[in-house]
A and B are shown apart, each in its own frame.
Chain A
């Protein structure tokens, strides 16, 4: 007993009352509740926009998707004269090859740069200057990358990117988008590497591992989930980009009627991609075939969304897989 003596009943009852009144709830925390409501509203607005967007496109493209999904996936971009032949095949092929170029060029170069910056480079003014620039590059509007791609890949090296198409090819587009997402890949990979606990690296160095062994056996496995998620998310960004593609010459309706998706030669020919197909079709309002193109555009958006969603699912799955591997 803190009071040093046994209390009589009256005193202890008084103490009890005082304590009870001092710790009892004094009305509602108005500010706190208001703040919570504001936060909930912001979340609600976000969700509402998303739901409206998805509902709108699914509703618009519902007929196309339910009645002739396979034909739509295999169909040509066309002019609208034969609505039953209209489809997104060429767009899917173009987007597929763009994704391949991003994976082949942006991922290794980006991850390599990140490893160098995080693990090897000395932290001095020059390395800080480079990192600042990479961060700025991540914020540059995509149309600027389109201009860069036009100058470098279309007009600069047409003999490589597309001898028969004046450089306006899936190769140019893929390279342009690879450059576009490069800063994002570097930044996310750097952040994943920075999150590797220093104790892990010290433990490795402590038993006589070289820097390479430490990176190979400790840092990279630990950072792998983060690196992968970041790179795959940047891939979905690349697939959704339209503006740079217009500048590097994505066109519609020029592709062969029955292209083969795995025909590597086709990457140096004229091309189109999903965002371009959507852009083209939505521009057909107030034309004769408006009622053909507008539902098809909505259906194409759904297809692109599913495409991106699948990529994200793969990203989540891989992240989960590597995290489990890291812990076991």
Chain B
């Protein structure tokens, strides 16, 4: 009930979020491209160029963390120093999720790092989608859902009463299982986010965002001549890439993907997987997948979830069994349940 009421109140809180601002990563590629092409005059002042290019070579996240640290240094310098090496995007601490009386996910502890692809695998009903939907507070839309425990996003408690779910979703994009383009033109689909968030309402600025997002989603060349055609006329794979373009058009930090390839054929799946590897440079990606080969192919980290059946009551609960580097999960899993699952003996 508490999450539901938070959602009810979200409109009031829209302007009162406490998440630190990440730098606009859109400046990054432009700045990087500039010296190579038009910035010949800039090369005449070499010292500055070198100084400038060094921070640009860092990932957007590192820049963001630096800024975050700078902002918080004055009051909480010590806390930041405890974890100097890791760039944590998510820190999940003893998380429990319920749908009404149903205990969907139990005691989950998990840390997700920036610019990595983290895969959630496991049998149906193990709570992997539930956890993913907690990461951008999509579960707020389900009235009976409630959570206990803590999810920290860049050090901020996502479910704090001061945090607006709407703002959270602007920073944490989501791609759904079934391609769900809006019944509008291809252009309007991508422009929807920038328009409502006020990033760009119309004109060249909006055109640029749409083009760049479609390019990042590896769709632009296929649709550039028919941007005003309905998105419903695209193939399933194109629709899903359009949904990815729609998600990245609002400059999120994180992309959550809920079985993005389950409705697609192998060719389209390969395209999305290649795309994920490219997007990983700019975004932190969390993907839920039923396809273990996919997890092995694309992810850096893998979390294996399973269903725990309580013997007396026959109640089923999702649990996180094992979390680690993907190659370790698939080659030398520590838990026998993981081993059984990844070798195909169960699930």
Contact B178 A123 (CB under 8 A): no
Check: B249 CB closer than 8 A to any chain A CB. yes
A32 in the interface, Cβ–Cβ < 8 Å? no
- Judged by a CB distance under 8 angstroms, whether B11 is at the interface is yes
Per the CB 8 Å criterion, the residue count for chain A at the interface is 24
B-contacting residues, A193-216, CB 8 Å: 197, 199-213
CA distance A205 to B232 in the complex (A): 19
Residues of A211-248 at the interface with B, using a CB-CB cut-off of 8 Å, are 211-213, 217-218, 222
Q: Which residues on A sit within 8 Å (CB–CB) of B270?
A: none
Convert B166-188 into 0s and 1s, putting 1 for each residue whose CB lies closer than 8 angstroms to a CB of A: 11011101101010111101000
Cβ of A198 to closest chain B Cβ, rounded Å:
9
Give the distance in Å from the alpha carbon of A28 to the alpha carbon of B223 in the complex.
53
Residues of A within 8 A of B249 (CB): 207
The size of the chain B interface, using a CB distance under 8 A, is 33
Contact across chains for B141 and A204 when beta carbons are under 8 A apart: no
Q: Indicate if the CB atoms of A123 and B143 lie closer than 8 Å.
A: yes
Task: Return the chain A residue nearest B197 by Cβ.
Answer: A208
Q: Are A122 and B173 in contact (CB under 8 A)?
A: no
Q: How long is the Cα–Cα vector from A326 to B182 in the complex, in angstroms?
A: 9
Instruction: With A202-B138, A204-B192, A222-B183 as known contacts, state yes or no: A210 contacts B246, CB within 8 Å.
Output: no
Contact across chains for A207 and B196 when beta carbons are under 8 A apart: yes
* B230 A328 Cβ-Cβ under 8 A: yes
Decide yes or no whether B150 CB sits under 8 A from chain A: no
Interchain CA distance A217-B195 in the complex, whole Å:
11
* Residue A263 at the chain B interface, CB threshold 8 Å: no
Please list 25 pairs of residues, one from A and one from B, whose beta carbons are closer than 8 Å in the complex, sorted by A's number.
A197-B180, A199-B178, A199-B180, A203-B181, A203-B243, A204-B182, A206-B136, A206-B169, A206-B176, A206-B247, A207-B192, A207-B246, A207-B249, A208-B197, A209-B169, A210-B10, A210-B11, A210-B14, A210-B196, A211-B11, A212-B11, A213-B196, A217-B196, A222-B183, A328-B230
Interface residues of B (CB under 8 A from A): 4, 10-11, 14, 136, 138, 141, 143, 166-167, 169-171, 173-174, 176, 178, 180-183, 185, 192-193, 196-197, 230, 232, 243, 246-247, 249-250
Residues of A within 8 A of B (CB): 122-123, 197, 199-213, 217-218, 222, 326-328
